[in-house]
Structure 1
């Protein structure tokens, strides 16, 4: 049994940095040996859920600008898996969820910056899945629910995003943590660990500083998909840190 994960992908610079967080990812990858990985990434947003369904080696997508040239030379040459993609598609359709497939899109940095540290050999099949962050939270959880049996097949479901992600408010010179960022995560942790799904469904109404922490939900909803895909729902914080004043690196195992 492999439990679902929600991991923070933060800045693209993580791909070329060595830090406490990248060491955590290195160690985490060594502790989990999946036969395939399904990545729900905040950086692929579509109206209809879309699944990468090619067996080819992915292109590495540099969906950012203004970073050092070194970053644009990194490749993560993982292959896809049409067999796993079809399995995912069928499970989602059987749960009443509309899906499409895609044969050309590469891995965006929401996927490869994490995978480079988790599995640097790029030798595990990857299936990347888009999100629609405008859907209600209960629908995000339903998407995860449709895939909860995958863990028993040693397939890792990975939600990639950030619980607090407001690039307009990050402070590149700050070494302190903005209190509002921590307070939002404290609330989120409490509701997850108490399985208060109603509160989570209505986080915009109840969570402190939700408008600051989550100006758009794209980086948060992969957490709810991962939560929904848990067969046991035994949530555990496995890493927590903050960078740039308020960018959250809260990570969960479900």
Structure 2
């Protein structure tokens, strides 16, 4: 049995870094032995919920630019699984959620960067799913609910994104987190722990500094997808709350 997770996937540099956060992810991966991984990536946006559909090795996608050459040589050669993808399709269909198969798409850095630290052998099948960033938190939660119980079958569901993600709010020399970023995360944590979906649905109006923390929601919505997929009788747990560049959140939660 495995839980559902929300993982702050960090910057692309995390792929080659050995630091406190990469060490955390490495240790986190050792807690679980999933037979498959289902991961919603903030870096794949689609109005129709899309999922990778192949049994072949998934391409490692470098969806970033201007980084050192070594960042384009990394491979994360995990295979897909059409068997697991079909299970997902059926679950979404049962809730009236339309899906689309993507047979050629690989893993973008919203998936493989964190997975490279968590499961470095790349020997676990991975199915990546898209996000629709402009659906409400309640709608995201509903999508996630289609996957409830997969953890009982040792299928690990991950929402990969970042709660505080604003490229205009980075402080490379920062040694302490920006208080506004922490205050936003603390509000989110409080209401996620309560499973207060009504308040979370209104985070833009209720959460402190919300529009600064979330100028665009694509990195934020994987939190609600992961929350919906988890055990409703389990109190959500904070696994990590650290920050890079002062305001890039590495918040991770277990559901």
Structure 1 length-normalised TM = 0.98
Q: Deviations over 1:183-241 (max 9, x none)?
A: 10010011111222111011011001000000011001101000000123420000110
Write the distance in 2 (CA, Å) between the matches of 1:199 and 1:233: 19
Partner of residue 48, structure 2: 48
Q: Tell me, yes or no, if the aligned pair for 2:161 and 2:220 is still in contact at 8 Å.
A: yes
Q: Deviations over 1:145-194 (max 9, x none)?
A: 01102111000000100000001111112222211101100100111112
Write the distance in 2 (CA, Å) between the matches of 1:27 and 1:142: 30
Partner of residue 193, structure 1: 193
Partner of residue 207, structure 1: 207
Q: Deviations over 1:35-61 (max 9, x none)?
A: 000000000000100010111101110
| Structure 2 gap segments, 5+ residues each | none
Partner of residue 249, structure 1: 250
Write the distance in 1 (CA, Å) between the matches of 2:10 and 2:77: 21
Partner of residue 234, structure 1: 235
The worse-fitting range, judged by mean Cα deviation, of 174-183 and 116-125 is 174-183
| Structure 1 gap segments, 5+ residues each | none
Write the distance in 2 (CA, Å) between the matches of 1:195 and 1:11: 28
Q: Deviations over 1:114-136 (max 9, x none)?
A: 01001111000000000001111
Partner of residue 110, structure 1: 110
Write the distance in 1 (CA, Å) between the matches of 2:206 and 2:225: 20
Residue 30 of structure 2: SS of its match in structure 1? helix
Write the distance in 2 (CA, Å) between the matches of 1:57 and 1:90: 23
State the Cα distance separating 1:2 from its structure 2 match: 0.8
Residue 129 of structure 1: SS of its match in structure 2? strand
Residue 21 of structure 1: SS of its match in structure 2? helix
Residue 149 of structure 2: SS of its match in structure 1? helix
Structure 2 length-normalised TM = 0.98
What pairs up with 1:4-153 in 2 under 5 angstroms? 4-153=4-153
Structure 1 residue runs of 4 or more that deviate by more than 3 Å after TM superposition:
none
Q: Tell me, yes or no, if the aligned pair for 1:39 and 1:111 is still in contact at 8 Å.
A: yes
RMSD: 0.8
Residue 50 of structure 1: SS of its match in structure 2? strand
Q: Tell me, yes or no, if the aligned pair for 2:137 and 2:197 is still in contact at 8 Å.
A: no
Residue 148 of structure 1: SS of its match in structure 2? coil
Equivalent residues, number = 254
Partner of residue 171, structure 2: 171
Q: Tell me, yes or no, if the aligned pair for 1:227 and 1:233 is still in contact at 8 Å.
A: no
